[in-house]
Chains A and B, each alone.
Chain A
Amino acid sequence: MMSDTRSPSLEIKNLVTSFATANGEFRAVDDVSLDLYPGETLCVVGESGSGKSVMSRSILQIVDEPGRIVSGSILLHPGRSGRRGVIDLAKLKPRGPEIKSIRGREIAMIFQEPMSSLSPVHKIGDQVAESARVHDGLDRRAARARAIELLAKVEIPDPESAVDRYPFEFSGGMRQRAMIGMALACNPDILIADEPTTALDVTIQAEILQLLKTIQKTNGMAILFITHDMGVVAEIADEVAVMRHGRLLERGNVFDVFANPQHEYTRTLLRAAKNAEAPSDRRLAMRQVRPLGEPILRTQSLRKEYQLSPGFFGRGARKLVAVHDADIELRAGENIGIVGESGSGKTTLARCIQRIHSVSSGKILYKLGGSDEQDIAPLSDSQLREVWREMRIVFQDPFGSLNPRMTVGQIIAEPLVNNGLGTSRSRRDRVAELLDLVGLPSSSMERYPHAFSGGQRQRISIARAIAPEPRLIIADEATSALDVSIRTQIMDLLLDLQEKLDLSYLFISHDVGLVRYFCDRMVVMYRGKIVEQGETETICNDPQHAYTQSLLSAVPIADPRLRNTKTRTRYRETA
């Protein structure tokens, strides 16, 4: 803790927020105490279900039903608004006038998903200046002027016209800027930011974090920043609080916590973050014993175009080139990472390689069954059956990609059934064997997916993918939706399976850290083009292309001492 001469803006003392459920009371926030100081940033770190979001919403009393504050106090000290005396927010009625006068005026909040957190049918300006209209009683005209001023403050280009636009006309980063502008409308003392950069690309994240810091410097507000990312914490926190299962495990100065974590769980989180900054030892060791084989997959000038409008007899037709003449090569037993931000074409490329999508031009040379190379680009669906048995995919969303009405056994056996492999008895044995391979008990096969956590579900997806003895696994953001501490486990599982089953991986990710851990070589994509490819370590240490440089410079490093040592570059494509 720093010196005690500082006086806090907000003191949370022994806060308990609980949800009444059919099985009794569930304490989402359990006895949490925190302090927020003006001009400082407190990062609350935790994984899904840690209660960090509910805690932050309790402050404003906007926890969704049936959640409610049971005990504890949230003391708000006087700030810029001129209100006198300390007020206990926990005692206020969630619908009363007192808490309403504090929301948006003294304490403002921004959220994770800038698209769904803004109304799609109201103009940006209307939403941005709304708190000013509510609290400062601005009329329409004054509110518009305030909105323009706020949009300029959050560095949205051309604020005079942006004010009359709708959220869907903005990019994700611009929307989040607008959200921040909205939170600043009444110049609040406290800003609560609930995972504000999680849904954004890493280069945009860097800009948003920078913007928050700049604003904090000028107006001295206290920021409560909720995140799961230790890299982001290292980047912006003054103090850190670690939460798990509703409880506060550890809190302290960011440098102390990173240098000398007290709780085992904090150490786990830090280790997971560090892992993402270096290659996996497991992988390096494996490559020593088993060198990479011959190429099994090569693409030559693979191109995918989408027609946007048909035009008139082919004239004036508009096309979108989703993948621009891609040449990649994957060798047996190799892991290739395809890195890029949203819209870079990385998933489209993978879908084309797997021939889920048709290909506009180019070749996909694949050694089917280990025999001679064959171009699978022109094959029809019926000719692709065998290719599809050998190339399997693991999806990002462990919740959406498993049919909730099938048992785990049925899910895993499905590719076997579809390919007519084995009898029902032999399939049962195979499912048990697969479950064992992915580290789940064979009793799991009778249960339904909802009984499993995100990480376990991803294991089920992997078991399904390896069921028909594939040679190539496409992992499309397969670890992105998982908690940090689970990610490494899943990647290690994939590496173990590679060793046991002779697999090659195409690993698609927006996260350079994961690629660095998992992949031997990486392919960097930007707007449908491969801008750079090569050995992962070579690229990470010495990126050649300006876009790769900007991407790598934006990745936060999980070490607060290295804060501000990296110079960020911003890549702008030249014509």
Chain B
Amino acid sequence: MLAYILRRTLWSIPFLIGASFLAFVIIQAPPGDYLTTYAAKLEAAGQSVDTARLNSLRDRFGLDEPFIAQYWKWITNILRGDFGMSFEWQQPVADLVGERMLFSIILALSTILFTWAVALPVGVYSAIRKYTAGDYVVTVIGFIGLATPNFLVALTLMYFGVVYLGADVTGLFSPQYATAPWSWAKLLDLLSHLVIPVVIIGMSSTASLIRIMRANLLDELYKPYVTTARAKGLGELKLLLKYPVRLALNPFVSTIGWAFPQIISGSTIVAFVLSLPTADPLMLQALMSQDMYLAGAFILLLCILSIVGMLVSDILLAVVDPRIRYN
């Protein structure tokens, strides 16, 4: 088991290197660089562009160096903890990204927990009560959840929140806590603000996980080992949880890997609508203005999250399924 975890962890290192390289390729891919975008912006605003100044800036940022050299400089600095400077904000990238990324991760983790907490029991119910009224109700709600775009749900909830409840549902903090230092009260405030974005972002993945769980469990419910367990005199509930649900969980666990990055990058629109101080809005802006190091940091972090998510789901899979562990 330890050997498996070690091997699997070591394997993710080349992936990380590859991902960092790809991240750099992607941010370099659009024609031009931050300075050409910057110049275009100035021209559009009717200001004159000082070519000499631009060239000196380009020189200073090393934007004329060959691709590989730029990448090397970028990645070695990151290994030292220096993510570079944001051109647009004139601040270290690390300061800009840090807290927002933390909120993104908190939001994503809460969403996954919510998704699981709802999808698991509902999926199990739906499977063991197949083709009953309850199953149909769950199925219909599930399909509605899958089919509704989540920004629409966000707008609707905001409308109801403001008009009928008189509550501000946007942001992650109430105004009085936004700049306050961390305290229990602030944490509670954060949690209460998390509920609505979590429900909105988690809705479609909850719906799809319910379907996955239902299908997985239906595959397992009539397997011979279930009959064996029943013939031993186990109670139905205990039997259900110990055997078929346990086996149906295996494919479920592997969804963590993709759910994590998907939730982070899938929450951009919702983050805009609800003006959440997460990473997504800033990343979008950085990409549009070709703010290279800022965008690069976001993309790299997202890639790392994906790889870590996969790693976690692989390790969990090995924990729940001995057949994987021993191969």
Contact = CB atoms under 8 A, between A and B. Distances in A.
Q: Do A and B come from one complex?
A: yes
A95 B224 contact: no
A166 interface: yes
A57 B323 CA distance: 30
Interface in A91-137: 95, 100-105, 108-109, 111-113, 116-122, 130-131, 134-135
Contact of A111 (B222, B228, B236, B323): B228
A104 B224 CA distance: 16
A104 B243 CA distance: 17
Nearest to A63: B227
Interface string B100-117: 000000000000000000
B222 A103 contact: no
B228 A117 contact: yes
Interface string B290-327: 00000000000000000000000000000011110010
B233 interface: yes
Interface in B41-67: none
Of listed A103, A121, A135, residue having the most chain B CB within 10 A: A121
Contact of A119 (B222, B230, B231, B243): B243
Contacts of A102: 233
A356 B227 CA distance: 39
B321 A101 contact: no
Contacts of B230: 60, 62, 103
A190 B224 CA distance: 20
A184 B232 CA distance: 10
B231 A134 contact: no
Given A117-B225, A119-B243, A120-B247, A182 B232 contact: yes
B11 to A, nearest CB: 17
A130 B232 CA distance: 7
Contacts of A169: 326
Contacts of A4: none
Nearest to B244: A119
B321 to A, nearest CB: 6
Interface string B226-258: 011111111110000011001100100000000
Contact of B235 (A100, A122, A168, A182): A100
Contacts of B235: 100
Contact of A131 (B227, B233, B247, B320): B233
Contacts of B224: 111-113, 116-117
Nearest to A107: B231
A111 B247 contact: no
A121 B231 contact: no
Contacts of B73: none
A101 B227 contact: no
A573 interface: no
A134 to B, nearest CB: 5
A135 B323 contact: no
A64 interface: yes
A29 to B, nearest CB: 17
Contact of A134 (B222, B227, B233, B247): B233
B229 A130 contact: yes
A166 B227 contact: no
B8 interface: no
B228 A131 contact: no
Contact of B231 (A62, A64, A95, A120): A62
A166 B233 contact: no
Interface in B193-216: none
Given A119-B225, A121-B320, A60 B247 contact: no
B227 A117 contact: yes
Contacts of B323: 120-121, 166, 168
B223 interface: yes
B225 A103 contact: no
B271 to A, nearest CB: 39
A104 B326 contact: no
Contact of A108 (B227, B231, B326): B231
A269 B268 CA distance: 71
Contacts of A111: 224, 227-228
B4 to A, nearest CB: 15
Contacts of B243: 119, 122
Contacts of B320: 121
A121 B317 CA distance: 11
A116 B232 contact: no
B228 A118 contact: yes
Nearest to B223: A116
A105 to B, nearest CB: 6
Nearest to B327: A168
Of listed B222, B224, B234, B323, residue having the most chain A CB within 10 A: B224
A376 B122 CA distance: 59
A121 B232 contact: no
B178 to A, nearest CB: 48
Given A120-B247, A169-B326, A103 B233 contact: yes
11 contacts: A62-B227, A100-B234, A111-B227, A117-B227, A119-B225, A119-B246, A122-B243, A130-B234, A131-B232, A135-B233, A185-B232
Given A105-B233, A116-B224, A166-B323, 14 more contacts: A62-B230, A100-B233, A100-B235, A102-B233, A103-B231, A104-B232, A104-B234, A119-B229, A119-B247, A122-B246, A131-B233, A134-B232, A166-B322, A168-B322
Nearest first, the 4 A-B pairs at minimum CB distance are A104-B232, A103-B233, A104-B233, A109-B231
